[in-house]
Amino acid sequence: MTFISDAKHAAARVQSISVRDAEQLAPQSSLMSSKASSAADHLSEQTAGFHRRYPELDVQITPEDRAFWAFMRPQARPSFTPQLLQDLTDMQTLIGELCAEGEAPFDYFVLGSRSPGVFNLGGDLPLFLEKIRKGDREGLRRYAYACTRTGYANYCGYDKGIVTIALFQGDALGGGLESALSCDILIAERRAKFGLPEVLFNLFPGMGAYTFLARRVGMVKAEEIILGGRTYSAEEMLAMGVIDQLVEDGEGERAVKEYIARNRSRRRSLSSVYQVRRRVNAVTLQELYDINDIWVDSAMRLTEQDLRRMSHIAAAQDRFRARQTHQAAAKIA
């Protein structure tokens, strides 16, 4: 099923977020939606030089590459905060509007990060702790479904044969890695580290890791990565076939541009091959939602000891964030 038709199916299956939840998860949702609509009107007239900033997302179109670049920049912990999810949803609504008008005004979508040393550290662990301790199963499910929908849009190439690229200029853990695995091409700088640490607090990565890893490296290797709970270097991920290209630190964006330039004459063939890949190893939104449901059930059964381990990891993420921010500031100074 396509991105558009699966999204319609999802709307029939999942209740809309209540007013209270919408205010809690994304206080600026209505404002951002109206801004996305006005931005869509502007883009319809002229895409050259387009640049837009959401609260936790920075996007631009580079006409020389025919690429739509989206850089995550969470204000606190570099994870999938409710605001970042809302920004990604608003951005993808904008892309859908642009693509609905005919041929897409860009050929590539690139997902990256502006957080120093981090692509994304995954799920919002403090939010998980809050939802689980309150017994808020539906709130946790809504969060999981929102994560899944943002990744699935990239997997589908927005129904326009857009080639999607994940650019790792820092660490990708848990849901951060899951979100990138939905893209066609994964390019990493050498310093990047990768891992799925959920097993350390007796959970599993439930937003697409098994689905997309199994289709890249097989089920046995996917389960080894998921159940091992260890951190991998970029070199190891390249050797396993998880990522597609390894470049030197600081060369990530240039590598993406070179990839686009190198494949300019065969872009349509490239796009077609990835469409064939999606047909041969098809993924439906329903499959991902079913896995989300298993993940929610597992999360709600976590013990207090498991939750304490999750809390310790969240605290470690905060320390990592502070250290990386300090090092980045020192370089600037």
Query: Residue 148 domain-assigned?
Result: yes
Does the residue 256 lie in any domain?
Answer: no
pLDDT surpasses 90 at 191: yes
Contact 72, 84 (CB under 8 A): yes
- Local structure of 68: helix, strand or coil: strand
- Interhelix angle 285-300/137-155, nearest 10 degrees: 150
Predicted confidence at residue 317, as pLDDT, reads 78
Confirm whether 318 is domain-assigned: yes
In a domain, 309, yes or no: yes
Separation of alpha carbons 63 and 130, rounded Å: 43
- pTM of this structure: 0.84
Residue 256 in this model has a pLDDT that exceeds 90: yes
pLDDT(70) > 80? yes
Percentage of the chain exceeding pLDDT 90: 73
How do residues 119-160 score in pLDDT, each as one tens digit? 999 999 999 999 999 999 999 999 999 999 999 999 999 999
Specify the CATH number for the domain of residue 192. 3.90.226.10
Model pLDDT, residue 187: 98
Give the per-residue pLDDT at 330: 61
Is 83 part of a structural domain of the chain?
yes
Domain holding 292, by residue range, is 3-251+267-332
Model pLDDT, residue 319:
79
In a domain, 145, yes or no: yes
Sheet holding 51-54, edge to edge: 51-54, 57-62, 67-72, 108-113, 163-168, 185-189, 245-247
Instruction: Lowest mean pLDDT of 18-22, 146-150, 304-308, name the range.
Output: 18-22
Looking at the structure of the chain, the number of domains it has is 1
Calpha distance 288→209 (Å, rounded): 10
Residue 314 belongs to a domain: yes
pLDDT level of residue 98 (50, 70, 90 thresholds): confident
Percent of the chain with pLDDT over 70: 81
Q: Which two tokens stand for residue 119?
A: 């692509």
Whether 150 is in a domain gets the answer yes
Q: Which pLDDT score is estimated for 11? A: 38
